[in-house]
Structure 1
Amino acid sequence: LCRGEEKSRNICRSPIAEAVFRKLVTDEKVENKWRIDSAATSAYEIGSSPDYRGQACMKKHGITMNHIARQVTKDDFQTFDYILCMDESNLRDLKRKSNQIKDCKAKIELLGSYDPQKQLIIEDPYYGNEKDFETVYEQCVRCCKAFLEKSH
């Protein structure tokens, strides 16, 4: 979900995490147990496709990306069991928003909190290069695998 105090755009990190997790649950044949989506804390890129560099990275790893950017909704806090975010700024935004939701069911956490290599923050690769997108991909794979093992 972006660096520093910028709001998340839902075109870099979260669509990569969404696609990685979708592939993991499909490979494990448990996709029917999961509703998987990604969203931004801001309205900045609503309707946009994922960043072309992220798409290229995922294609290289044989993972399909079908995502159009959207913003987190009130309903998300009420229907999802988990909302996993990428950095402290997004964590603060999401927790603040969740406090305004009467019956918030979602557990809000950093995806990086599941990383066996203890890389807590998944940095926004938007201003970086292909190597930065690869790093995000690798972090997402590690974290999503660990999350999936823990959650069922």
Structure 2
Amino acid sequence: MAEGIFLDLIKKKSLMDKWIVDSAAVISFHIGKSPDKRTMATLAGHGITDYEHKVRQVTDSDFRDFDYIFGMDEGNIEDLMNLRGNVKTKAVVEYLGRYDPDGVLIVPDPFYSRGMQMFEKVYEQCLRCCEAFLEKTHGLLA
């Protein structure tokens, strides 16, 4: 969901030429699959109807090619650090929630929730975080 939100924000702010945005899984469970239907419905409910994605796994080259790699929770960050190893890399690995102006560090995984309420909460948090990140990196207000 965060990828779709970030892509939408940079498109609206004419920053598509400044960013390469991708998302990847730390485990192989969802590889090759599309996002959860509830994720897509949440994005569509906020006008993001052009997002397409097939899950891929994090690779060694991601740590060399990207400037930032965001994890959503402790498990993500731990897995990312283990995948990166002790090699000095270009990518800063950090919580997306570090940028949440509301101070909520962990972005919960709504996959196991019932209904749409948790997906909406995650959307709102990811939007806050992505907007704040863009403000920090580009000096852009939402």
Q: TM-score, normalised by structure 1?
A: 0.87
Show the counterpart of 2:67: 81
- Distance, in Å, in 2 between the alignment partners of 1:46 and 1:30 is 28
Q: Deviations over 1:20-41 (max 9, x none)?
A: 0001111110110000000000
What are structure 1's unaligned runs of at least 5 residues? 1-15
Secondary structure of 2:42's aligned partner: helix
Secondary structure of 1:126's aligned partner: helix
Secondary structure of 1:109's aligned partner: strand
Q: Report how far residue 104 of structure 1 moved.
A: 1.5
Show the counterpart of 1:17: 2
Q: Report how far residue 99 of structure 1 moved.
A: 1.7
- Distance, in Å, in 2 between the alignment partners of 1:135 and 1:68 is 23
Q: Report how far residue 103 of structure 1 moved.
A: 4.4
The structure, 1 or 2, with the larger RCO (C-alpha pairs under 8 Å, 6+ apart) is 1
- Distance, in Å, in 2 between the alignment partners of 1:84 and 1:96 is 14
Show the counterpart of 2:42: 57
Q: Deviations over 1:47-89 (max 9, x none)?
A: 1000000111111111132100110001100100000110011
Q: Deviations over 1:98-150 (max 9, x none)?
A: 125x4411000000000000111011101112010001100010000000111
What are structure 2's unaligned runs of at least 5 residues? none
Show the counterpart of 2:118: 132
Structure 1 residue 117 corresponds to structure 2 residue 108: no
Secondary structure of 2:121's aligned partner: helix
- Distance, in Å, in 2 between the alignment partners of 1:81 and 1:133 is 27
Show the counterpart of 1:48: 33
Show the counterpart of 2:18: 33
- Distance, in Å, in 1 between the alignment partners of 2:129 and 2:88 is 27
- Distance, in Å, in 2 between the alignment partners of 1:29 and 1:127 is 35
Structure 1 residue 150 corresponds to structure 2 residue 141: no
- Distance, in Å, in 2 between the alignment partners of 1:150 and 1:89 is 25
Select the residue among 36, 48, 55 that pairs with 1:69: 55
Superposition RMSD on alpha carbons, in Å? 0.9
